């Protein structure tokens, strides 16, 4: 049984290994829960960096937060096509309607043409030394990156357009219902 209701509002808090807050999002709306992950959506959401700088996201996003895998996936619906931003991070926890996880620097960027790029390798190397990431974390992250790349190449969930379009349409439908009630 699902613990949350469709369109329940959450915050997102991303931390670093040292326990310090790295980035926050002021809203994410719950869409679904499976055995493996929770799905959220947002659009034009305030993102605040550790140093206080803030920005508003420009496009709708569907977010998959995994219960056991060390990554989360953001599907970005940009004018130029569908992009994927995958954070190598701990499995999430939820505390008082706030999604929390530790970000481990490495990211996978997926492009509309099916290509991809691994990002922030130097940041990972620097933080690994500075914050003392263990060899165990290093092994886990390399393994999880392999899973992500395989899923992306094979267009497996959540990179399957049937899956993320379903959630996008659900989100848009719920927004319309809310708008019509006001």
Which is catalytic among the residues 23, 53, 80, 109? 23
Q: Token match 């003392």: residue?
A: 132
The HSE-up count of residue 122 (CA atoms within 13 Å, CB side) is 0
- Other CB atoms within a 10 A radius of the CB of residue 102 amount to 20
At residue 166, the 3 state secondary structure works out as: helix
Which two structure tokens, joined as six digits, stand for 3? 């613990």
Q: Using the 8-state DSSP alphabet, how is residue 58 labeled?
A: -
53 a catalytic residue: no
Conformation bin of residue 93: beta by default, left when phi > 0, alpha when psi is -120 to 50: beta
Which two structure tokens, joined as six digits, stand for 116? 């991809």
Element (H, E) at 145: helix 135-153
Which two structure tokens, joined as six digits, stand for 138? 């290093």
Conformation bin of residue 135: beta by default, left when phi > 0, alpha when psi is -120 to 50: alpha
So which residues are the catalytic ones? 23
């Amino acid at each position: 049984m699902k613990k949350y209701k469709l369109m329940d509002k959450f915050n997102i808090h991303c931390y670093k290994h040292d326990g310090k807050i790295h980035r926050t999002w002021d809203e994410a709306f719950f869409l679904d829960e499976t055995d493996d992950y929770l799905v959220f959506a947002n659009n034009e959401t305030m993102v605040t960096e550790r140093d206080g700088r803030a920005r508003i996201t420009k496009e709708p996003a569907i977010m998959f937060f995994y219960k056991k895998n060390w990554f989360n996936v953001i599907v970005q619906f940009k004018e130029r096509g569908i992009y994927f931003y995958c954070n190598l991070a701990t499995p999430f926890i939820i505390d008082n309607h706030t999604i929390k996880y530790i970000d481990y620097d490495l990211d996978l960027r997926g492009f509309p043409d099916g290509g991809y790029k691994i990002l922030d390798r130097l940041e990972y190397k620097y933080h690994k030394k500075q914050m003392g990431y263990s060899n165990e974390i290093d092994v886990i992250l390399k393994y999880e990156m392999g899973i992500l790349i395989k899923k992306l190449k094979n267009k497996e969930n959540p990179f399957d357009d049937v899956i993320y379009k379903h959630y996008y349409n659900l989100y848009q439908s719920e927004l319309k219902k809310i708008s019509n009630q006001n």
